[in-house]
Chains A and B, each alone.
Chain A
Amino acid sequence: MADEGLTPHRRDPIKSSVGNVAAQRRRQNAVTVGKERRESLVRAKRLCRVGTSGDSEVSVDNDMMVDEEQSILETQTAAAVEELKGKGAMHKRVDALRELRRILSRFEFPPVETALKAGAISTLVQCLSFGSPDEQLLEAAWCLTNIAAGKQEETKALLPALPLLIAHLGEKSSLPVAEQCAWALGNVAGEEEELRDVLLAQGALPPLARMMLPNKGSTVRTAAWALSNLIKGPDPKAASELIRVNGVLDAILCHLKKANEELATEVAWVVVYLSALSNVATSLLVKSDVLPQLVERLATTNSLQLLIPVLRSLGNLVAGDSNTICDILVPGHKVIEVLVKCLKSEHRVLKKEAAWVLSNIAAGSVEHKQLICSSEALALLLHLLSTSQSDIRKEVAYVLGNLCVSPTEGDGKPRLIQEHLISLVSRGCLPGFIDLVRSADIEAARLGLQFMELVLRGMPNGEGPKLVEQEDGIDAMERFQFHENEDLRNMANGLVDKYFGEDYGLDD
């Protein structure tokens, strides 16, 4: 024990067996591979979201941006594409792609044109070939995403890449890759109808639809966004096709019910286009449980981004299917309540859309009209009629007009609901309508005239003409005496003749 006090320092001989180093390196390599894959997974998740800045218009203050000369930038771009064309090892190719992607995403006016001239597309298509490593696919798809976000001609340059981008949406692809491809395709689809037709013909819709099914994590939102671009129409075929894809309807319901607001927003846009374009889709959506979900979302969210598509979907469904109104106005349903909330909103779009939905409801049964009349909505509508911008006023005029008539029965003139008319007029709505008559907007003027006709015809004891006269209605109508629009001219002249003709005033 005494002699072992010190163990002399022994270092490893320079001439040693390769086995020691090699095994150590191999082990270290396994650790590194794990780290790299974690790294690329995390980056992929983040990177895909960077793309989202494209539509949400985040303003990043420019003071930190590198203010580089355009020419330097162009040189860099061309160099990056050249580098990419080189036959480097795989990791070098990924580096080159990353560099190109950084250039294409970093600047306010990305040098897309230069990249295209340098031949970026064909090289990027190469990088998308089957069996390429995920990171390469991801970077290439991302480059294409940024190119697709450019001008129309630049977007069209993507045509050769579309089949591969679509192919990588499949089940076999990793989610980050599929998501990035969806992003690129969404950009393309958003550009114009012709490109949408190409994508649809190449089969982009079914895989995108499957990506929307729940449990696909972050891809759902991107897929929904891309789909909403793809089914924009105006041809309704794509919308009808989408709603028939197995599981899509359930997925929409599920996301509307459970998803966070960002995802729900994209899904709601899909519903907007489905309900706007396709009767099949509309009736399937109505039969499903979608309406309560939309109403619930309207009630609970304050996000303008989400409120708009949800409200529009609701309006589309109400307008598109007459049964809908019965469905949503079952007792205890808070649809009027949420619409009131929108009417109260400060956002013009919301007010307008809410009024539009109400006008469709007001076009329904007498019970529906009574529901609106007995709610807080009426006061708001009256207020809006006199104070808001013209487009809102028009929608409001539809609501108020519809409240006073019941569905037409064959002979043209709508049947009056005198009770409602009296109530509205007594609450001072007439000046608002007469203002509309004076509007340069023909549609608004027609609405004003139509309401005036109701007043003239329907107010008891012949009070109508007096009221109209008091509010300078005659003057307003006379402006149409020689109006170029025949319809309006006849209508106005007819009313003046009928109610303010030779006999007018004789009773007094």
Chain B
Amino acid sequence: MAMEVTQVLLNAQSIDGTVRKHAEDSLKQFQEQNLPGFLLSLSGELANDDKPIDSRKLAGLILKNALDAKEQHRKFELVQRWLSLDVNVKTQIKACLLKTLTSPVPDARSTASQVIAKIAGIELPQKQWPELIGSLLSNIHQLPAHVKQATLETLGYLCEEVSPDVVDQDHVNKILTAVVQGMNANEGNNDVRLAATRALYNALSFAQANFSNDMERDYIMRVVCEATQSTDLKIRQAAFECLVSISSTYYEKLAPYMQDIYSITAKAVREDEEPVALQAIEFWSSICDEEIDILEEYGGDFTGDSDIPCFYFIKQALPALVPMLLETLLKQEEDQDQDEGAWNIAMAGGTCLGLVARTVGDDIVPLVIPFIEENITKPDWRQREAATYAFGSILEGPSPDKLVHVVNVALTFMLNALTKDPNNHVKDTSAWTLGRIFEFLHGSTIDTPIITPANCQQIITVLLQSMKDAPNVAEKACGALYFLAQGYEDVGPSSPLTPFFQEIVQSLLTVTHREDAGESRLRTAAYETLNEVVRSSTDETAPMVLQLVPVIMMELHKTLEGQKLSSDEREKQSELQGLLCGCLQVIIQKLGSAEPTKYVFMQYADQIMGLFLRVFACRSATVHEEAMLAIGALAYATGPDFAKYMPEFYKYLEMGLQNFEEYQVCAVTVGVVGDICRALEEKILPYCDGIMTQLLKDLSSNQLHRSVKPPIFSCFGDIALAIGENFEKYLMYAMPMLQSAADLSAHTSGADDDMTEYTNSLRNGILEAYSGIFQGFKNSPKTQLLIPYAPHILQFLDSIYMEKDMDEVVMKTAIGLLGDLADTLGSNAGSLIQQSLSSKDFLNECLSSDDHMIKESAEWAKLAISKAISV
């Protein structure tokens, strides 16, 4: 059955495009015509030590891709395809793969181990290939080093692919034992030790039981710490990665080891090579993440039932940790501010310092201030930059009271540095620090204002001036202005920014036209800042915002002029269109929120819509997400008149709903359907057949990202609210979908936090759909049609109440639905509600809720129910 494929595989990697294309076609054809033969041939190729390494590697890669894909639906198909293959074929393939693990060629072994892990990922959950782990582990001690290395690598990948619940504890113990022994300092072969350390990284999530056992945990921790001292850089890096993973997975078990870990990480941060030092810093950042989460839960509701207590590791380590982090700040790279992808020890150290500040609050301030004071005026730019960076990093966390005095002094200093410092980095960080000051210490919630009539003008002058500086500095200056404007969003009828509004807008528009605005994401920052300035503006400046409309429209119009663009130019065009549509979105929201400005704005509506439609027409297969968002805003502003745009716009709406691949586009479009429903009300009716068809398709597709499904359900509710009893014809499709989704989401037991959160958002979507439908049918002669669905809905409400894991949002929507049901069905619902298991308890619980929205919904539901029962 196997065939000779070497030459085709080599040709498929040829530099000659024609040869390559031909070979790829042959492979495709082979695969389509005879899949078992194809896979057998590939595994044979991979196993054969006489074959060239290039053909073997490609054979393994194709095999791997035949088992797994990124897209969920494709992955599902591949899994089914593998499971349905003939058993003998699969056995032969697996034998070839296991044999390859003993090959002297490292790449062949490594490829084979990944393919084995993929097959294990498919078969172990089906209780197939039960002998795999046993056979890998049998006589692992006697294997030659290279085979041992391959076996450990395979175990590592296997732990990455399969979930812990399909491997029994006995196997877990054996895997961990083998891995930890491979990591041991006694292991003479570094390749084996590296493979073992990397395998442990993946196996950690299997080790719950072992980490609960003091002896086993001590052993594992000792081995990991020892590995951080290896002479091999990669082993040290891998060992620190294990420590990082342990810090989040087993935070509550760490106390006995923290002293040692501190010494190890401090040494690594100070002395080791960058990849290792970065992981050492990451350990502390990760501890901060854990403690911030725990403390947040403490603060949220003082029930104290958080599973994990806070050990205050950061607070305890503070006196040593902060100086260590401050030292890292001095290790900047020359061009890090120009390089968007840069990540180095100084950046990691500052990031960690910021997290430490958020974890411990006020305590960090006295530890950092001396460093700032000592360095901020030094001739070496590194010292000035590090001091500024340290200051900027600790502005979130400590209380404003603790900071306000320092900040007042620093403000003048920063403004000065931003204007006069000769060094680009120092200016960059000074502008960023100003932005942080405005973000955290300026705004309606702060008692002592940092910005006063006395310094406001100076601040704005400096920021606008800096927008003419190098792109990276200008970008940070825009950012500072962004937060400055944001702080004034609730300022009331008069804003201190009003006198400068025109100048600010003009400066930002000038920035967008800079030749170098493409660098350091300067253009994006300028437009987003413009948006924030507009969003936070007051009625005083409404006329100027109105004047901005034709200006931005003209810019958007210009992007549509270009002909015959290269793909690179096309991408730039699309990005610029995104920024301009985003800007129009904000302007439309702003002007649409008050009657007088809306009235004036409406004169532009037709033209703007025309532009958006042309932006859509620029692309053939996808819709422009930002244009879609802007149309949502336009629909609110135009109201029922939006109907006139629907004939032309509808096809793009449909296109957006069909976009499974870019699920964000789909999600945005679903949101816009809701916007349009509220704008058009019953005038949306002619389009509902198409929209509902598409939404139902989306729901039944396994290609669509799950996060879009709850909004789709909510969208059913929006449609029903808009078209009322006309929703009748969709009931037979929508109701079964809602019922089965309700059944699925009724119980979450055993799910993790993410899953519970998702389930709650799904429930909320389902409940909103029902509410919309019931309210839509209210006062119609067709309410009878809904009676058959009531028992199931009440059952659903019962079960989510019993489950005791709904969040506030679900609670509010659920009790509201109970009211809608009673309100719409009246006496028909009365007895059903009285019979339901928990409606009364649920209602009482909501009535005594502290959340006033829940209480309000409950009071209303109570009234509706008592009416329904009294009839």
Contact between B528 and A19, CB atoms less than 8 A apart = yes
Query: Contacts A27-B629, A102-B856 given: A89-B585 contact, CB under 8 Å?
Result: no
Contacts of A217 in B (CB 8 A): 724, 779
Instruction: Evaluate contact between B528 and A9: CB separation under 8 angstroms.
Output: no
Residue B768 lies at the interface, judged by CB distance under 8 Å to chain A:
yes
Do B478 and A50 touch across chains, with their CB atoms under 8 A apart?
no
Q: Are B586 and A26 touching (Cβ within 8 A)?
A: yes
Q: Is A220 an interface residue (CB 8 A)?
A: yes
Chain A residues, Cβ within 8 Å of B870: 58-59
Residue B830, interface by CB 8 Å: no
Docked Cα-Cα span, A258 to B779, in Å, equals 10
**A:298-321 near B, CB below 8 Å:** none
Query: Are A34 and B632 in contact, with the CB atoms below 8 A?
Result: yes
Contact: B632 with A41, CB < 8 Å? no
Does B44 belong to the interface (CB within 8 Å)?
A: no
Asked if A87 contacts B595 (CB within 8 A), the reply is no
Are A23 and B781 closer than 8 Å at their CB atoms?
no
As a 0/1 sequence over residues 391 to 419 of chain B, the CB contacts with chain A under 8 angstroms (1 = contact) are 01100000000000000000000000000
Which residue of chain A has the shortest Cβ distance to B823 in the bound complex?
A: A49
| Interface stretch (choices B219-227, B642-650, B670-678) | B670-678
In this assembly, does A330 line the interface, its C-beta being within 8 Å of a C-beta of chain B? no
Q: Which residue of B lies closest to A131 (CB)?
A: B595
Q: How many residues of B contact A (CB 8 A)?
A: 97
A88 to B490, CA, bound (A): 9
3 A-B pairs with the lowest CB-CB distances in the bound complex, closest first: A131-B595, A18-B479, A22-B528
B361 at the interface (CB under 8 A from A): no
Contact with A along B48-59 (1 / 0, CB 8 A): 000000000100
Bound form: Cα–Cα A53–B671 in Å: 35
CA distance A258 to B668 in the complex (A): 39
- Tell me which of A69-77, A235-243, A259-267, A441-449 binds B: A259-267
Q: Known contacts being A1-B107, A23-B582, A218-B778, is A34 close to B528, with CB within 8 Å?
A: no
Residues of A within 8 A of B38 (CB): none
Specify which chain B residues have a CB less than 8 angstroms from the CB of A31 in the assembled complex.
Answer: 671
For A55-75 the 0/1 string (1 means CB < 8 A from B) is: 010111100100000000000
Q: Indicate if A407 sits at the interface (CB-CB under 8 A).
A: no
Q: Is the CB of A15 within 8 A of B531?
A: no
Scan B195-226; emit 1 where CB is below 8 A from any A CB, else 0: 00010010000000000000000000000000
- A41 in complex: contacting residue of B114, B589, B596, B678, CB < 8 Å: B678
Given contact pairs A42-B816, A58-B867, A259 touches B596 in the complex (Cβ within 8 A): no
Q: How far is the CA of A89 from the CA of B489 in the complex (A)?
A: 10
Q: Is the CB of A6 within 8 A of B201?
A: yes
A215 within 8 A of B: yes
User: Once the chains bind, are A1 and B111 in contact (CB under 8 Å)?
Assistant: yes
CB distance from B7 to the nearest CB of A (A): 22
Residue of A nearest to B664 (CB): A27
For residues 736 through 782 of chain B, which have their beta carbon under 8 Å from a beta carbon of chain A? 768, 771-772, 775, 778-781
Find residues 126-174 in chain A having any chain B CB closer than 8 Å to their own CB.
130-133
Assuming the contacts A1-B110, A30-B671, A259-B781, asked whether A46 and B718 have C-beta atoms less than 8 A apart, the reply is no
Contact of B244 with A by CB under 8 A: yes
Out of A9, A30, A221, A262, which one reaches B282, CB within 8 Å?
A9
Chain B interface secondary structure, helix, strand, loop or mixed? helix
A22–B482 CB distance below 8 A: yes
Q: Which residues of A contact B674 (CB under 8 A)?
A: 34, 38
Contact A6 B198 (CB under 8 A): yes
Q: Which residue of chain B is the closest to A132 with respect to CB atoms?
A: B595
The distance in angstroms between the C-alpha atoms of A218 and B483, with both chains bound, is 44
Asked if B164 CB lies within 8 Å of chain A CBs, one says no
Most central of A18, A56, A221 by chain B CB within 10 Å: A18
Q: Is the CB of B721 within 8 A of A42?
A: yes
23 contacts between A and B (CB under 8 A): A5-B198, A6-B241, A8-B275, A8-B278, A9-B241, A13-B347, A13-B351, A14-B351, A17-B521, A18-B528, A19-B521, A22-B531, A22-B532, A26-B585, A26-B586, A26-B629, A34-B632, A34-B671, A34-B674, A42-B771, A46-B819, A53-B867, A58-B870
- What 1/0 flags go to B655-674 for Cβ under 8 Å of A? 00000000000001001001
Interface residues of B in 272-308 (CB under 8 A from A): 275, 278-279, 282, 285
Known contacts A9-B244, A64-B847; 7 additional CB pairs below 8 A are: A1-B61, A1-B110, A22-B525, A22-B531, A23-B582, A30-B585, A131-B595
CB distance A1 to B525 under 8 Å? no
Q: Which residues on A sit within 8 Å (CB–CB) of B285?
A: 11
Let me know if A440 is at the binding interface, CB within 8 A. Answer: no
- A90 and B49 CA atoms in complex are apart in Å by 76
Alpha-carbon gap, A262 to B844, bound state (A): 28
Which residues of the other chain, B, contact A17 by a CB distance below 8 angstroms? Answer: 340, 475, 479, 520-521, 524-525
**B237 near A8 (CB under 8 angstroms)?**
yes
Q: Is B781 a contact of A2 with CB atoms below 8 Å?
A: no
Q: Tell me, rounded to whole Å, the shortest Cβ–Cβ distance linking A257 to chain B.
A: 9
